[in-house]
Amino acid sequence: MNFFKTFLASCLGSFIALGLLIVVMVLLLIGMVASLGNEDRVVVKDLSVLHLKLNGPITENQVEDPFEDLPIPGAVAYTGLLPLKHAINEAKKDPKIEGIYLDINMLMAGYGVARELRQALLDFKESGKWLVAYSEYYTEAAYYVASAADKVYLNPEGDLEFNGLAIEVTFFKKLFDKLDIKPQIFRVGDFKSAVEPFMLDHMSNENRLQLNELITTLHKTIVADIATTRNLSEARLFELANKMLVTNTTTAAEYGLVDSLLYFDQVQNELRNRLGIGATEKINWITYSKYRKSFTPTSTSKNEIAVIVADGEIFSGKAQEGTIGSDTFAEEIRKARTNDRVKAIVLRINSPGGSALASDVMWREIKLATEVKPVIASMSDYAASGGYYLAMACDTIVAQPTTITGSIGVFSVLFDLSSFMDKSLGVTFEEVKTGEVGELITVTRPLTAVEKNIWQKRTNEIYESFTAKAAEGRGMPVEELKKVASGRVWTGSQALERGLVDVLGNFEEAIAIAAKAARIDTDYRLRYYPVQKNFFEKWFGNLEESTKTRALKSELGAQFETYQQVKKLKNWQGSQTRLPFELTIE
């Protein structure tokens, strides 16, 4: 009897697996057909409204996803900022686009991206076309973008967050104490507080000081921008935020943050009036994903500005999804330097930093490139620590006032997991060595006093190199540079005052500076690097990794989450130039 039970269970499992495989293959087939169909250019109808639904993560660039228009439950729609801004600019000139309907309730991006997007929408309005925003609720960042609209509408039973900004730092010391993990920390700079979450359960005075100044400066910029478009005084907006006077939709309308409290059908009627169509006529919506397929680049210029997008944490080796791999990006910079068609390079940076060595490898290639053609840095949400390391070699650095940058400092950290491995997993280690010093990068034992001295000396040397190169790039004495270093984080506007950036502006201004420096004026075309893999290349490339992950989950069971935490610590091993905290601004 047990044999038949086992046999039937096995058959049932096989049928389920086969069914799942068939579903996956059908989805892939649909995607392939959709991908092939998407090659056809979309025709925009007269009196169309561009529908921008921006409630998913916003990255710098975008990979084509053949499933993006399919209603797949739980699917997350990623939007590339640079292609989105290009589409908004095309809509500005498109006679068939009457206006933009902005559908946004939360913005999964930082305030550097938010300001870039907001500026693109304001530029769209310069054409005389209208921009209407509507949501059931607005987060602080979403409202900041929506406030650029001619009219901001809110659901009568919705919500709007307007109570200023807050920064939250996560601390892991008590977790490490419980797991018996011992961080071994070496750093330079009073403000280089990236390691504080490993050694403290609260903010240091230095970190609290820099975060207070950072968030206050950011908030001033945001309030000033909102005041301009909503015709409200900055003083009044500060009062609303600081006292949290906006507690419901009624007060949001009463204090002028929104224009009207409407349901969606009422918003549709308002749009019909703008379009001059009947109350029962269908609105010609066109989504962003479809609109992107309605136009193609028009420039046939032989002159090229290479836009090299550095988005993510910095590691040595080849770039993976969401990371900056030094091998990949050094090669892209090298190719752009030696390509005669490329007249200038714009390095688009959105990075909190990472490996010091990887940052330096890319810095060298950027430095070589500046010797033969203009190289301009365009900072997005972050260009801090290792991200600033990339920018400091460029001829000109362009940042948003809300960009988080600086953090010129170094730390090194190694995690002693020997007690954790022994007590939790029953694994012990023993080392045989020929000299006084053993492995310098190890998690299986604590460092000796001699080894700790070596690590601190290395960290000091990397800091001296970092600050010397930064001073050279910025054309200032090292002593002056160090006054704004020590790991201190600045906003773009603060960095401008301290000589760490040259211009406050957006991506388009960085392009204009590059074109002028290369003396090509408007005779150029943009090309983005690294060339993005399409959906299927990424999907098949991740199959092996997904299989390994499933196998580990099955093998480790409840211990899998612990394994994931330990694995993440590997990225922090050794010398790092990265932001002094895991930053969340709300």
Whether residue 176 contacts residue 198, with contact meaning beta carbons closer than 8 Å, is answered with yes
Mean pLDDT, rounded, for 429-445: 88
Residue 78 — pLDDT band, cuts 50, 70, 90? confident
| Domain C-terminal end among 264, 294, 324 | 294
Q: Give pLDDT, residue 258.
A: 98
Q: Give pLDDT, residue 64.
A: 61
Please write the tens of the pLDDT for every residue from 238-280: 999 999 999 999 999 999 999 999 999 999 999 999 999 999 9
Higher pLDDT, 522 or 174: 174
Mean pLDDT, rounded, for 506-526: 95
- Check pLDDT > 50 for residue 8: no
> Does 158 share its domain with 55?
yes
> Does 259 share its domain with 349?
no
> Does 268 share its domain with 367?
no
Please write the tens of the pLDDT for every residue from 465-512: 999 999 999 999 999 999 999 889 999 999 999 999 999 999 999 999
Question: How many structural domains compose the chain?
Answer: 2
> Does 344 share its domain with 257?
no
| Domain C-terminal end among 231, 262, 294 | 294
Whether residue 316 contacts residue 327, with contact meaning beta carbons closer than 8 Å, is answered with yes
> Does 279 share its domain with 314?
no
> Does 158 share its domain with 269?
yes
Angle at the Cα of 189 from the Cα atoms of 584 and 171, rounded to 5 degrees: 35
In a domain, 87, yes or no: yes
Taking the C-alpha atoms of residue 105 and residue 373, their distance in angstroms, rounded to an integer, is 42
Q: Give pLDDT, residue 191.
A: 78
- Check pLDDT > 90 for residue 531: no
- Check pLDDT > 50 for residue 9: no
Taking the C-alpha atoms of residue 394 and residue 374, their distance in angstroms, rounded to an integer, is 8
Angle at the Cα of 395 from the Cα atoms of 392 and 399, rounded to 5 degrees: 65
Percent of the chain with pLDDT over 90: 70
| Domain C-terminal end among 294, 329, 361 | 294
User: What are the residue ranges of helices labelled H in 158-263?
Assistant: 173-179, 196-199, 205-230, 234-242, 249-254
In a domain, 519, yes or no: yes
Whether residue 347 contacts residue 386, with contact meaning beta carbons closer than 8 Å, is answered with no
Mean pLDDT, rounded, for 176-194: 87
For every residue of 501-520, DSSP letters joined together read: -SEE--HHHHHHHHHHHTT-
Whether residue 183 contacts residue 175, with contact meaning beta carbons closer than 8 Å, is answered with no
> Does 290 share its domain with 331?
no
> Does 311 share its domain with 289?
no
Please write the tens of the pLDDT for every residue from 342-380: 999 999 999 999 999 999 999 999 999 999 999 999 999
In a domain, 42, yes or no: no
Q: Give pLDDT, residue 437.
A: 87
Whether residue 466 contacts residue 410, with contact meaning beta carbons closer than 8 Å, is answered with yes
In a domain, 225, yes or no: no
> Does 280 share its domain with 330?
no
Percent of the chain with pLDDT over 70: 81
Which domain CATH number covers 403?
A: 3.90.226.10
Angle at the Cα of 472 from the Cα atoms of 468 and 477, rounded to 5 degrees: 75
Which residue has 């989950």 as its token pair? 553
In a domain, 232, yes or no: no
In a domain, 521, yes or no: yes
Please write the tens of the pLDDT for every residue from 542-562: 444 455 555 555 555 655 555
- Check pLDDT > 80 for residue 153: yes
State the catalytic residue, choosing from 294, 359, 385, 486.
Answer: 385
Summary mean pLDDT of the chain: 87
> Does 287 share its domain with 359?
no
- Check pLDDT > 70 for residue 6: no
Per-residue 3-state assignment (H helix, E strand, C coil) for 291-356: HHHHCCCCCCCCCEEEEEEEECEEECCCCCCCEEEHHHHHHHHHHHHHCCCEEEEEEEEEECEEEH
- Please choose, from the candidates 98, 95, 60, 96, the residue with its C-alpha nearest in 3D space to the C-alpha of residue 81: 60
> Does 270 share its domain with 359?
no
In a domain, 197, yes or no: no
> Does 363 share its domain with 284?
no
Answer yes or no: 385 catalytic: yes
Q: Give pLDDT, residue 36.
A: 46
Q: Which stretch of 131-145, 261-275, 436-450 has the lowest confidence by average pLDDT? A: 436-450
Domain that holds residue 130: 48-65+77-162+246-294
In a domain, 270, yes or no: yes
- Check pLDDT > 60 for residue 201: yes
Report the greatest alpha carbon distance in the chain.
87
- Please choose, from the candidates 192, 198, 194, 193, the residue with its C-alpha nearest in 3D space to the C-alpha of residue 171: 198
